[in-house]
């Protein structure tokens, strides 16, 4: 009985090894079809991203909170201060409305005084690089 069981086990091992040796993985080719305009758009986006310098200048934060309120705050700000540009930045867990693009702290503080008349909680920020 033991010899039959041993022969069956040996036969199973040899059969498995033979099958594994002769099996091959699927060979396939992938063809990627991409719209040529996609590459042009991607290059334009790369150019824009390199020209954005958010981190080296002073900003004024006028709002910190949810998405919808930040959009409304930015819209209202742009109506009141047409000469000053602004953006919404998401830092977990809140949206922040940053305005201005000031090279020096003195310039930013001058504008902060004017902005605080309408937005009393506004304060100066210098984003980290």
Query: What's the pLDDT tens digit per position in 65-94?
Result: 998 999 999 999 999 988 888 999 888 889
CA distance to 6, 57, 81, 120, per residue, from 98 (Å): 78, 11, 13, 14
pLDDT at 7: 79
Whether the model clears a pTM of 0.75, i.e. scores above it, the answer is no
Domain residue spans of the chain: 54-125
CA distance to 14, 20, 89, per residue, from 25 (Å): 21, 11, 48
CA distance to 29, 38, 45, per residue, from 33 (Å): 13, 11, 21
Residue range 12-49, pLDDT digits in tens: 888 877 766 666 666 778 888 888 888 888 888 777 66
- Helix (H) or strand (E) holding 59, with range, is strand 58-65
CA distance to 42, 44, 53, 77, per residue, from 48 (Å): 10, 6, 10, 24
Pick 32 or 56 by higher pLDDT. 32
pLDDT at 35: 85
- CATH code of the domain made up of 54-125: 3.30.70.1070
Q: Tell me the average pLDDT across 1-19.
A: 78
């Amino acid at each position: 009985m033991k010899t039959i069981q041993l022969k069956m086990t040996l036969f199973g091992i040899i059969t498995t090894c033979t099958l594994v040796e002769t099996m091959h993985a699927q060979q396939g080719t992938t063809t990627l079809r991409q719209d040529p305009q996609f590459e042009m758009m991607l290059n334009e986006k790369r150019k824009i991203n390199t020209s954005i310098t958010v981190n080296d200048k002073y900003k004024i934060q006028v709002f910190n909170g949810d998405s919808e309120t930040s959009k409304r705050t930015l819209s209202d700000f742009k109506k009141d201060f047409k000469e000053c540009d602004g953006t919404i930045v998401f830092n977990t867990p809140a949206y922040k409305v940053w305005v201005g693009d000031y090279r020096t702290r003195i310039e930013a503080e001058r504008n902060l005084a004017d902005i605080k008349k309408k937005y009393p909680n506004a304060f100066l920020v210098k984003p980290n690089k």
